[in-house]
Each structure stands twice: as structure tokens, then as C-alpha cells.
Structure 1
């Protein structure tokens, strides 16, 4: 199995989600039981919805449980350096547009572009890994090709 990095906070968040999902199991099972008692299952929207929710719950529980043992938990407060690594917050400028962006590189199970973090497995994340301030990196992204210059690398911890 691979050793996927994840922050302490990301790991705890997944553990909390797993706990919440497991607590929801009996509620969904009860909803299925009650919907069954209503009779005809062919046209029972409540039954269909409860079965669909049960399928989602079980799939997500299985996914999280299978991933937890494969994680390499990293305390972001212990990181430092002058190269882009997991946990680094990188400020870049697009060479063509002068648009500045900032990314925190995290694992695929905790990255959230909307909150400013990207996965180390993404095209941009993987291209930035190992580089230093001042370097230019050309990256093939879904919209085409972009060239970034790394302006700064910080380690902000949690």
C-alpha cells in the first residue's frame, strides 16, 4: 500500500466523518424497515431514498476505513525548508497574466480548492513539488499550458 501524506487535522476530520457515518447507520436501517412496512416497494420513494443513502454510507465508510491505514500522518507544525513539499503554502505568479495565486499543498483526501489547498497529486501540485523560490515551472493543465514563477514558500502549520 502507498503512504499517502495527510495532515493531522485532515486525518482527524476523516476519523470524525467515519464516526458520524457509523452513527447514521442505525437511523438509515430503521428508515428502510419503516418504508418496507408501508407495503409496495416498487413505488415507495422513501424506501428507494433510504436504500440509496445506505449504499452511499457503506461505500464512504469502506473507503475511509481502507484509506486510514495507508496514510502517513504529518504534523504541519514540524515542516520547514526552502523547497515545495507537502504542507507548503506556495505563492506563484502566472508569467503571462501577472495573476498571483496561493496554494497550500495537501493530500488528495483533504485538498479543497475552494479554501486554497490543492492536492500534491494534481497537475499543479505535482509540478511544484521540489522547486524553490524564483524558479519557473511550465505546467500542462486542463485549460492548456501555464507558466508560474514561485514567489514564496511558507510553512504555516495548522
Structure 2
């Protein structure tokens, strides 16, 4: 059984849209590619047909995986979450104690993570170190580059 993943409303909608696209237009494009390859002659020696069938298998596997993700997806009501400590979907402003640099991250599910927009996975080392902590706490987190010390400045939704 897959793990339950918590999503923002936007992230859950994106997941549903992608699945719908794959089931409709994606399948239609794969079927067209198979039909075109089939029209080219003997299937036993047709590499284009084999490639199209393999693409179909990968496409169906992706549909299955997304369906499983959706079945285990849970929407979090951000308005009911406690802002006194860091939880999934929290927006956390932290300061690197060593160099004074501040950064802000939102902790999201692995599928929604995008460092360019400031969204990090709850499974990342920094997020794991922040979970459950409160404003003002200083924490030491082991990251691939070594140990870093951060102070939590602010927690919001």
C-alpha cells in the first residue's frame, strides 16, 4: 500500500488534470501512433510498431501510478492547521545562523516540490529537521554539504 500524501488544493487539481489528460488525449495520441505503425506492414519486423506498443505500456503505467497517487492523496484544510509549530504546508522563514542569510520555504508533498517557487518536499533533510519546531528555536540539520544551524523566524500558512 502506498503512503498517504497531503496536497494543497492547487497541487491536487494539477494531479487530477494531468491524469485526465493522460486518459483522454494521451491515449488518443498513442492509439494513433499504433494505428499508423500497423498500416506500414508486417508487424513481426516492424520496429515502429514495437516502439509504439512499448510507449503505450509506459503510458498506461504512468496512468496507473497517478491513479494510485490520487487514491492516497489527502487535501489539507490550511485554515485549520496550527501555526505555532511547523507542519506540512507551513511557510517557514528561517535564518542560517552562520552567515545570517534568510530564506522562506513552504513544506509540500514530494510531487509538489519545486525549489524555484520555494516549495520543498516534507521528505527533504531541511523539512524533516523543521517539522514540529516552533518560532525562535535553533536547530542543527544535517544536509549533504554537512551540518547547518538554522533559527526559525516565522511560521505561516
TM over 0.5: yes
Unpaired runs of 5+ in structure 2?
none
The equivalent of 1:12 in structure 2 is 13
Q: Normalising by the residue count of structure 1, what TM-score does the alignment of the two structures yield? A: 0.85
- After superposition, residues 15-26 of structure 1 pair within 5 angstroms as 15-23=16-24, 24-26=26-28
2:103 paired with 1:105: no
The equivalent of 2:61 in structure 1 is 59
Q: How many residues align?
A: 152
The equivalent of 2:130 in structure 1 is 128
> Which of the numbers 132, 136, 139 marks the counterpart of 1:137?
139
Q: What CA distance in whole angstroms lies between the structure 2 residues aligned with 1:17 and 1:81?
A: 31
Q: What CA distance in whole angstroms lies between the structure 1 residues aligned with 2:134 and 2:141?
A: 15
2:43 paired with 1:41: no
Unpaired runs of 5+ in structure 1?
none
Q: Normalising by the residue count of structure 2, what TM-score does the alignment of the two structures yield? A: 0.86
User: How far 1:52 sits from its partner (Å)?
Assistant: 5.1
User: How far 1:110 sits from its partner (Å)?
Assistant: 1.5
After superposition, what is the alpha-carbon deviation per residue over 1:28-82, rounded to whole angstroms, capped at 9, x for unaligned?
Answer: 111122023224523x4x863x445424322221111112121221122433421
Which stretches of structure 1, 4 residues or longer, exceed 3 Å deviation after superposition? 50-53
